[in-house]
Amino acid sequence: MRPTSLVDLSGLCLHTITTKPWNIEQAAKHYASAGVKGITIWRDALEGRNVSHTGQMLRDHNLTIVSLCRGGFFVSKDRIKRQKAIDDNRKAIDEASLLGTDKIVLVCGADPVQSLEESRKQIQDGIAAIIPYAEAANVKLAIEPLHPMYADVRSAINTLKQANDLAEALNPPLESQSVPLENLSPPVAPMSLPVVSLASPTVGIAVDVYHLWWDPDLESEIARCGRQGNLLAFHISDWKTPTGDLLLDRGIMGEGCIPLRKIRSWVETAGFKGFNEVEIFSKAYWQEDQSEYLRKIIEAYTTYA
């Protein structure tokens, strides 16, 4: 599929973190007035609010609540902290249900005092522990692989291949209905939880271009994700050169070197029909007038995304 321009805003979603200075009521008002159709809620935006009422307020603005961000952080050498993370993820599932969305994005976590292999095992165990709760609430869990620069504390899942391997271990793949544990990246054996007991249609993947644009296997892994029915979300921004802050200096689409339309064409070819979610962390843009910043995002969306 050849990359095509986006002619309207019907597929545009903004994450509340993108316009962090606005509270959720301000974000809803301004997004709706600008023609934005979707919103992904970061959990900090819900603090001190009735979650059900907030969900209704967003729907009253004709905004689709695309997802809740974020769950995850399953990893710790400390068993008590791991259990607290599972409890917090169950709370996030409750919040998603009250809000009226069917998806939570998982930033899976890592712990630099232990091996990446152990962290990945804890991630799989943690997701497995919350699958029954998510299934009962009809909430899907979207694993978001993060750039390797975050492998120390934010996520030990750093490529789309690793995320695909994990999702297929937790879900029965559509093609083969099984995935040998020794095929995980890296191999993990023996696992304490057999694949058959983990089978669930609940786990999928969020593809974020900021984290994955560099991967030479990205096109084939996106296609694989689509074949298995695991492609749940697509996040966009840009990688600025030079980057002033590895966490808080993302660019608006068109400011950097990410081939956005090419990657979007791969996602659409894989069968994805959901929102294009703008997720930008930027100290510089948070200091600007947020209405002008929103105007820039919308212009860049139709021009470069």
CA angle centred on 273, ends 44 and 254, rounded to 5°: 70
Neighbour count for residue 251 (Cβ, 10 Å): 21
pTM (two decimals): 0.91
| Token pair 């159709």 in the structure block, residue | 37
1: number of Cβ within 10 Å: 10
Give the N- to C-terminal CA distance of the chain in Å, as an integer: 15
Could you report the per-residue pLDDT of 40-65, keeping only the tens digit for each?
A: 999 999 999 999 999 999 999 999 99
CA 94, 274, 54, 285 torsion: positive or negative?
Answer: positive
Share of the chain above pLDDT 70, in %: 90
Which residues are within 8 A (CB) of 168 and not within 5 positions of it... i.e. 6 or more apart?
179, 228, 230
If we measure between CA atoms, which residue out of 83, 142, 81 comes closest to residue 108?
A: 142
User: What is the rounded distance in angstroms from the CA atom of residue 171 to the CA atom of residue 277?
Assistant: 25
CATH class of 12-304: alpha beta
d(CA 52, CA 104): 16
Contact call for residues 181 and 208 (beta carbons, < 8 A): no
Give residue limits of the domains in the chain.
Answer: 12-304
What pLDDT, in 10s, does the model give residues 132-156? 999 999 999 999 999 999 999 999 9
What's the pLDDT score for residue 4?
79
- Residue appearing with tokens 């005092």: 113
Q: How far apart are CA 246 and CA 261, in angstroms?
A: 23
93-139 pLDDT per residue, tens: 999 999 999 999 999 999 999 999 999 999 999 999 999 999 999 99
pLDDT of residue 241: 96
**Residue 104: strand pairing partners:** 68, 141
Residue 198 has pLDDT above 60, yes or no: no
